[in-house]
Amino acid sequence: MAQLLHGSARTAQAVRRSIQRSQESLQTLAQRHGLDPKTVAKWRKRVTTQDARMGPIPASTVLTAAEGAIAVTFRQHTLLPLDDCLYALQATIPHLSCWALHRCFQRYVISRLPLPDEDGQPPKKKKFKDYPIGYLHVDFAEVYTEEDKR
């Protein structure tokens, strides 16, 4: 089986194993294998002979349970499209991405908004319950924009 090495690797796994097993000094091993003593010291400290991951570590896009609950509740109450939900929730969940939000909605089977009726009309809105005179029913929602909240 072919051995896959890091692009800048100067040592093979057999050389790395011999460095780790050897009791000789760093200078002696470096001269024998044509390496820098720092490279020999590095491989002597490591437990494994595998290359370490190079490059940036990608940030996690997984939402916590609490963040997912916030997103799901917001979607169920507002029935806003995905982009509008993303825009409104980014103030609360700064690392939220469109893909993470979509996967969350799919997980809770709310990724699709309610379908229109047979005649192509959106679902009919219900009227408020009749309250006695003097009772005031107020529904409101806050949406954060670049200028302020509305």
Report pLDDT for 82.
92
Structure tokens at 92: 């609360």
Q: Where does residue 65 rank: exposed (0-12), middle (13-18), buried (19+ CB within 10 A)?
A: exposed
Interval 15-48: pLDDT, tens: 888 888 989 999 999 998 888 999 899 889 988 8
Report pLDDT for 7.
65
Mean pLDDT value of segment 81-98: 92
Structure tokens at 91: 């103030």
Interval 91-138: pLDDT, tens: 999 889 999 999 999 988 888 877 666 776 666 777 877 888 888 877
Most confident of 61-65, 87-91, 117-121: 87-91
Q: Please, are residues 63 and 93 in contact by the beta-carbon 8 Å criterion?
A: yes
Report pLDDT for 56.
78
Calculate the average pLDDT of the chain. Answer: 83
Report pLDDT for 112.
85
Q: Please, are residues 23 and 29 in contact by the beta-carbon 8 Å criterion?
A: no
